[in-house]
Amino acid sequence: MPDQETHELVDKLVFGKAFPEVHKATDEPYARLGKLHRIERHDPLYGLSTGQPLVHLLHVLVDWSPLTLPPVEQAFKDVAQKLVLGRP
């Protein structure tokens, strides 16, 4: 499962800024449900309720993306940080 940092890096790449509140709210059920948390708040109606439906949709897509498989996720973060933050 992608962490908050990954979601925010993707936001910055796509939207030019991060939306941490959308990701925190979307993943809040994780505390109760663990990996099954996606049965809550990962649907289009909840996305509309966030006021940022495109950010929410991107959150859900990133959750299911092969970019977030553990061996690939760190490489993605490294490249994204260079692009977004200008870090070497």
How confident is the model over 7-57, as pLDDT tens digits? Answer: 999 999 999 999 999 999 999 999 999 989 999 999 999 999 999 999 999
Task: Evaluate if pTM is beyond 0.85.
Answer: no
Cβ distance 22 to 42 under 8 Å? Answer: no
**Residue 80: pLDDT above 70?**
yes
Extents of the domains making up the chain: 4-82
Long-range contacts of 22-30 (CB under 8 A, 24+ apart): 22/50, 22/52, 22/55, 22/56, 22/59, 23/59, 25/50, 26/50, 26/56, 26/59, 26/60, 30/1
First to last CA, the chain: 26
